[in-house]
Every structure is written in C-alpha cells, then in structure tokens.
Amino acid sequence: MPGTTSVSDAMIALLVKDAGSYTWAAATTGAENAASYQLATEKSVMPIGGFSGSDPSPTLAQFQSYVASGKIHYFIASTSGPGGGRGGAGQRVGGEGGSSSISTWVSENFTAQTVGGVTVYDLTAPVG
C-alpha cells in the first residue's frame, strides 16, 4: 500500500515487550503511520495529528500528561512530513502543524535510539 510504513522485526519486538503495561505501546505522527505499527504489533499506537499529522490532537499538554502518567511507552519519529511515513536515523522528527510541538518536545527531552532503521524515543526514560 503506498505511503505505509514497513515495520521491522526488531521494531515489532521492541513495541510488544511490556506493551500490556501501557495504554499505547507507542505514538507516532499520522493515522496511516500509526496503523502500520498497530497492524504489525496488534498493540495500540496513538496517531498524533490525525490523518494528515496537522490536527491539534492531542495537544502538547495532553501528550505530556499521558507521558507523565506512564500511558505511552515509545515515540516513533516520522520523517516524511504530514501524515507520517517512514522514519529513519538522523532525519527530521515529526510532521507539520499539531504534531510538530510534540515531536520537538520529545526530541528535546528523551534520548533517540535507532531500531530497524527508525528513530525511537523511550518515553519512560527522560534525559537528565
């Protein structure tokens, strides 16, 4: 399917480990991007910014509250602009509009790691 994300075995293993302890195994920009991870893992993945990645849902404050409450384990960086798409090491984090403030906050407060060629942040381990 055009625009969908191919999910590596390493990413699947990361997301399913301890997924039952979280409301969302991960969050990522765009519904299509989130759907790829959700279908591959059969775990809940939060789509930030709706279909296009530009809707203000959730807000930064809501997202920060979810993270502080331990409801989201990982943030999967998106690199193809609005709507998500393929993530990769060293590439721009996030999309446009509503998701960009969340992406910026995550990249400033959590350490990036690369799993299966995709940049991922563990939201349970803030920097400093």
In 3D, which of 70, 87, 77, 73 has the Cα closest to residue 107? 77
Whether the Cβ atoms of residue 63 and residue 102 lie closer than 8 Å to each other: yes
Residue 55, CB-side half-sphere exposure with 13 Å CA sphere: 12
Indicate the domain borders of the chain. 9-126
35, pLDDT greater than 70: yes
Cis amide leading into 2 (omega within 30): no
Q: Percent of the chain, pLDDT > 90?
A: 68
* Residue 40 structure tokens: 């591959």
In 3D, which of 127, 86, 85 has the Cα closest to residue 105? 127
25, pLDDT greater than 70: yes
pLDDT of residue 70: 97
Q: Kindly report, residue by residue over 64-111, the tens digit of the pLDDT.
A: 999 999 999 999 997 554 333 333 333 333 444 457 899 999 999 999
